[in-house]
Chains A and B, each alone.
Chain A
Amino acid sequence: MKKLYAVLVALLVAAMLLPACAPAQTGPECAKPEVFCVGVVTDVGKIDDKSFNQSAWEGVKLAEKELGAKVQYIETTDAKDYDKNIATFADEGYDVIVTVGFALGEATVAAAKKYPNTKFIGVDQFQAEVTPGVAGLIFPEDQAGFLVGALAAQMTKTGKIGGVFGTDVVPPVWRFGEGYCAGAKYINPNIELFIVYHSDVGFDKTFTDPEWGSATAKSMIEKGADIIFGGGGKTGNGAVIGAVEAGALAIGVDTDQYYTLPEAQKGLLSSAMKLITPGVFDLIKAAKEGKFPDGNYVGKAAYAPYHDLDSQVPAEVKAKMEEINKALLDGTLKTNVTPAKTEDGKGFCTP
Chain B
Amino acid sequence: MQNADEKQPQPGWQQAVRAGLNAALVPFLAIVTAVIVGGVIIALVGGNPFAAYLGLAQGAFGSARAWSETFVWATPYIFAGLAVALAFKGGLFNIGAEGQLAFGAVATAWVGYALPEVLGIEIPGILHLPLAIGAGILAGALWAAIPGALKAYAGGHEVINTIMMNYIALNITSYLLNGPMKDKNPLNVIARTPEIAEGARLPVIFDGLRVHWGFPLALLVALGVWYLLWKTTLGFEIRTVGANPDAARYAGINFRRILIVTMALSGLLAGMAGAVEVTGLNYRHELGFSIGYGFDAIAIALLGKTHPFGVVLASILFAGMRNGATRMQFLTQIPVDIISVIQSLILLFVAADAIIRYLYRIKAKEERLVLTRGWRG
Asked if B288 and A171 sit within 8 Å, CB to CB, the answer is: no
Asked if B326 and A102 sit within 8 Å, CB to CB, the answer is: no
Total number of B residues with any Cβ neighbor in A under 8 Å = 48
Residue in B closest to A47 when the chains form the complex, CB atoms: B335
Total number of A residues with any Cβ neighbor in B under 8 Å = 41
Q: Assuming A5-B21, A203-B177, is B330 touching A74 (CB within 8 A)?
A: yes
Within 8 A of B (CB), among A50-76: 72, 74-75
Asked if A203 and B191 sit within 8 Å, CB to CB, the answer is: yes
In the complex, A183→B187 CA distance in Å?
A: 27
- Which residues of chain A are within 8 angstroms of B327 by Cβ–Cβ distance? 88
Asked if A75 and B335 sit within 8 Å, CB to CB, the answer is: yes
Asked if A8 and B28 sit within 8 Å, CB to CB, the answer is: yes
B131 an interface residue at 8 Å Cβ cutoff?
Answer: no
Q: Assuming A44-B288, A204-B291, is B178 touching A72 (CB within 8 A)?
A: no
Total residue contacts A-B, CB cutoff 8 A: 97
B171 an interface residue at 8 Å Cβ cutoff?
Answer: yes
- Which residues of chain A are within 8 angstroms of B210 by Cβ–Cβ distance? 83
Chain B interface main SS type: helix
- Which residues of chain A are within 8 angstroms of B61 by Cβ–Cβ distance? 16, 19-20
Asked if A24 and B178 sit within 8 Å, CB to CB, the answer is: no
B354 an interface residue at 8 Å Cβ cutoff?
Answer: no
Asked if B54 and A77 sit within 8 Å, CB to CB, the answer is: no
Asked if B178 and A85 sit within 8 Å, CB to CB, the answer is: no
Return the contact of B178 from the options A2, A25, A126, A203 (Cβ within 8 A).
Answer: A203
A interface footprint on B311-339 (CB within 8 Å = 1, 0 otherwise):
00000000000110111011101011000
Return the contact of B57 from the options A15, A128, A205 (Cβ within 8 A).
Answer: A15
- Which residues of chain B are within 8 angstroms of A89 by Cβ–Cβ distance? 330
In the complex, A1→B21 CA distance in Å?
A: 11
Asked if B28 and A80 sit within 8 Å, CB to CB, the answer is: no
A81 an interface residue at 8 Å Cβ cutoff?
Answer: yes
In the complex, A338→B359 CA distance in Å?
A: 66
Residue in B closest to A8 when the chains form the complex, CB atoms: B28
Return the contact of B330 from the options A15, A88, A126 (Cβ within 8 A).
Answer: A88
B58 an interface residue at 8 Å Cβ cutoff?
Answer: yes
Asked if A169 and B189 sit within 8 Å, CB to CB, the answer is: yes
A345 an interface residue at 8 Å Cβ cutoff?
Answer: no
Asked if B329 and A75 sit within 8 Å, CB to CB, the answer is: yes
List 20 extra interface pairs beyond A19-B61, A80-B281, A102-B189, CB under 8 A. Answer: A18-B54, A18-B57, A22-B58, A25-B54, A25-B58, A25-B331, A27-B331, A74-B329, A77-B322, A79-B288, A80-B72, A85-B326, A169-B189, A202-B170, A202-B174, A202-B175, A202-B191, A203-B178, A203-B191, A204-B288
User: Which positions in B face A, CB cutoff 8 Å?
Assistant: 1-2, 5, 21, 25, 28, 54-55, 57-58, 60-63, 65-66, 69, 72, 170-171, 173-175, 177-178, 187, 189-191, 210, 281-282, 286-289, 291, 322-323, 325-327, 329-331, 333, 335-336
What are the 6 A-B residue pairs with the smallest beta carbon separation, nearest first?
Answer: A202-B174, A19-B57, A203-B191, A19-B62, A203-B287, A19-B58
